[in-house]
Amino acid sequence: MSKVNMVALKKINGVLGVVEADTLEIVLGPGVNTKVATIMNDEAGVKEGEIFPTNSYQASKSEVERKAAEVHAAHKASLKKTWWRVALQHISAIFVPLIPAFVGAGLISGVAGILRNMLTAKMLPESWSLNITVLAMISSALFSFLNIYVGINTAKEFGATPGLGGIIGGIVYLPGIVAPITIPNIFDGKPLAAGQGGIIGVLLGVWLLSYVEKFFHKHIADSVDIIFTPFLTILIMGLFTVFFIMPLAGWFSNSLVGAINWVLKVGGPVSGFILGLLFLPMVMLGLHQILTPIHLEMIQKIGFTPLLPILAMAGGGQVGAAIALWIKCRKNKQLVNMIKGALPVGILGVGEPLIYGVTLPLGRPFITACVGGGIGGAVVAMFGQVGSIAIGPSGAALIPLIANNMWWAYVLGLLAAYAGGFIATYFWGVPKEAMLPDDQASPAVAERREAEKEASNLDMKTSTVIQEIEAPVSGKIENLEKVDDEVFSQKMLGDGFAIIPSDGSIVAPLDGKIVSVMSTKHALTMMSAKGNLEILIHMGIDTVELKGEPFTITVKEGQEVKSGQQLGTMNINKIKEAGKDPVVMMTVTNTEVIQNMKLLKSGEVKAGESVFKVSSK
């Protein structure tokens, strides 16, 4: 940080903000971030995510890549991450994939609730009763078994077997325990209740399970690993979950939900104002992710989360501030055009365009927008019992999810947030320079507006392709870092995984085309049929010296292949007799097209089994 001129950096045209955390984050306009990152990487000769090596411009590109790999490995080993930041990243990875399910099931539940009320009020005929029941049943498919979904995602995130994580989530429901049979709480002797500990218990249980499973994978012989590892893992963690985690997590979740309800009840509008005021700064710091399991725990305990409607007011404050800017800065055509584009989605609860494109770059409007969110939060908290039956949307899109027919209170809070953000911004939050037309703005302001105009015209539409890559050979899968070869362990040839083979049959990991087959037959490359992934399959370490003797390749360059189709064979015994390691490496060599990649399996895998997920541009 001592090498950064922070004041000058923040003044650069197009820089919307600078965040000082574990890394230095520079917030740029829409589309500019990708453009700038690409140019920087190309000029330095490194791939995205790698550390820039010293004096890179004086070295050849190959030397730069080698040096970058070394520096990256050293930096990764020495990098100190705060425990809470890592925890928040895990929580986000667990729950973000479930958000579409929350939204879909929540809206169906909301529709069922509205129809049920209409049926009670005799506004619908009795024949609608079955339809309402079916809708309620569909929505319950998520919420009734939510612990299992969370257990599966948690296992994936921590490198455990997803099915085992789902079992821990299912154990919390105490299946098969029907009165008069009970299981006592070892701490107070009272019977355990189905679901006790909820989401918090599942997160804790599956996190511990990941360590137990990895321990057994490491210490149990490969020949019996598939039998004893899952058996012992489920047995140990099942008993521990029932007798220790459920009682403790149940006490903690009850205390947490009770404390939040107490704060909202006693603090009332004051608590609502503080929560609504501070939520957007929490989002910018990444702290909002910890709220997801709290929302879900409250939904499981009391049927709704009273926090979400209050926090959603922060987006309402942004909408009010944007409208005030539109009126007072109407001569600033560029700003008005940005507001026109961002305002509709802001009303529906998508606040990022307004935050990063409008209020945050101007400074004061962001603060006055937060004040508007606090006012809306105070109004919602004043009524009490305004809660959401699901998480996901905010803004106007949250109205159908408001429980107990309190949607009107939520709407009043939203209108108050609009009004609060508008008034605070109109009178105190509009910078003078923002009200000037383009031809009267100072040169610096004019240049910044031009940069923002160019940025807003960039096409932000990207096509993300998500695909799972299958194991090219049966055996024990491991991270690439464990391979005893610096070229692969330091990922100089891309990122991927390695498999210690148990047999010599090599199959295609995905649909695609064979690009090249090495003359020594120890490696081949493919191009995926979708996502433009360049795949390298490398059989053994230093096996190029064997001049193809242990290998048979049955495909040709240019040939189209399907996933699971045999590509060739390798004689593992001959490779070992030659003193070589037969480990098979599979890497994606063009990592510049990759947005995210993740290993899905651990331990023993079979050829053709999905083991690696890649999201590509």
Cβ neighbour number for residue 269 with a 10 Å cutoff: 18
How high is the pLDDT of residue 59? 39
**Distance separating alpha carbons of residues 134 and 615, to the nearest angstrom:** 36
Q: How large is the C-alpha radius of gyration of the chain? A: 28
Q: What confidence tier does 75 reach under pLDDT thresholds 50, 70, 90? A: very low
pLDDT in tens, 79-90: 455 666 677 677
- Kindly state the average pLDDT of the residues 463-487: 85
pLDDT in tens, 329-350: 888 877 787 788 778 878 877 6
- In the chain, the percentage of residues whose pLDDT exceeds 90 is 35
Q: Does domain 465-616 match CATH 2.40.50.140?
A: no
Q: Which helix (H) or strand (E) holds 352?
A: helix 352-354
**Distance separating alpha carbons of residues 312 and 69, to the nearest angstrom:** 43
**Distance separating alpha carbons of residues 171 and 156, to the nearest angstrom:** 18
Q: CB of 49 within 8 A of CB of 594?
A: no
Q: What confidence tier does 593 reach under pLDDT thresholds 50, 70, 90? A: confident
pLDDT in tens, 76-130: 444 455 666 677 677 777 877 787 787 788 778 878 878 887 887 788 898 899 9
Is pLDDT of 70 > 70?
A: no
Is pLDDT of 18 > 80?
A: no
DSSP-assigned letters across all residues of 209-229? HHHHHHHHHHHS-HHHHHHHH
Which residue has 């910018």 as its token pair?
Answer: 284
| Structure tokens given for 531 | 């996502």
Indicate whether this model's pTM tops 0.85: no
Identify which has the larger pLDDT, 369 or 179.
369
The residues with which 14 forms a beta bridge, in sequence order, are none
How high is the pLDDT of residue 277? 92
How distant is the alpha carbon of residue 108 from its chain centre?
24
Is pLDDT of 229 > 90?
A: yes
- Kindly state the average pLDDT of the residues 576-598: 87
- Kindly state the average pLDDT of the residues 548-552: 91
How high is the pLDDT of residue 71? 42
Domain residues of the chain, as ranges? 95-264, 268-457, 465-616
- Kindly state the average pLDDT of the residues 386-396: 83
pLDDT in tens, 266-275: 888 999 999 9
